[in-house]
Amino acid sequence: MQEYEREILLERIGRESATVGASIPDRIDVQGEEVDLQEFVFEIKRRDTIPDGERERVERAKKNLRRERLQRKQRIEGETDEELAFIEGEQLAEDIIGIDRALAALESLRPTDIEGERERQETADTKRWLNFLKQALGHEDSSQLGGR
């Protein structure tokens, strides 16, 4: 593959709008395992929320998809020893865009326990705010915040 062809493919997968109109691949090899990606995403997405029992499965799938995306991108970038033909690079780019589409669909799901998630977010926000105040006021110990 020529360098300018490589740059075209990398620009294409890096575009914000790359997934607009893209479809999720029916089947894809993810980390050496053949996955019915479209069926998996539609099955999970149909529920609109992630049930507690499925959360680990969805998180593992997202992690594997991100890893697979990175490996395919590295092949396009030429970080592997094998020489890549432009037509193979185009297929890798299409796969990456499909993976991005699947990841976007999975990321948009809400947890089932919305109230619990809201409480966790509020707790995390409070901790960040207290840490910010501690740093801004120059306090070493957060227990000093209440005393002043």
Task: Kindly state whether residues 90 and 18 are assigned to the same domain.
Answer: yes
What is the structure's pLDDT at 141? 55
Task: Kindly state whether residues 12 and 62 are assigned to the same domain.
Answer: yes
Task: Kindly state whether residues 32 and 62 are assigned to the same domain.
Answer: yes
Chain centroid offset of residue 136 CA: 33
Task: Kindly state whether residues 104 and 127 are assigned to the same domain.
Answer: no
Please state the domain count of the chain: 2
Task: Kindly state whether residues 74 and 121 are assigned to the same domain.
Answer: no
Task: Kindly state whether residues 47 and 96 are assigned to the same domain.
Answer: yes
What is the structure's pLDDT at 23? 85
What is the structure's pLDDT at 81? 60
Task: Kindly state whether residues 89 and 134 are assigned to the same domain.
Answer: no
| Contacts of residue 44, Cβ cutoff 8 Å, sequence gap at least 6 | 50, 54, 58, 106, 109
pLDDT by 10s per residue, the chain, length 148: 888 998 999 999 988 888 888 888 889 888 788 888 888 888 887 776 776 777 888 888 899 999 999 999 999 998 766 688 889 999 999 999 999 999 988 887 766 555 666 777 888 889 999 888 888 888 765 444 555 4
| Domain span including residue 41 | 3-112
- Give the C-alpha separation, 51 to 53, whole Å: 5
Task: Kindly state whether residues 100 and 136 are assigned to the same domain.
Answer: no
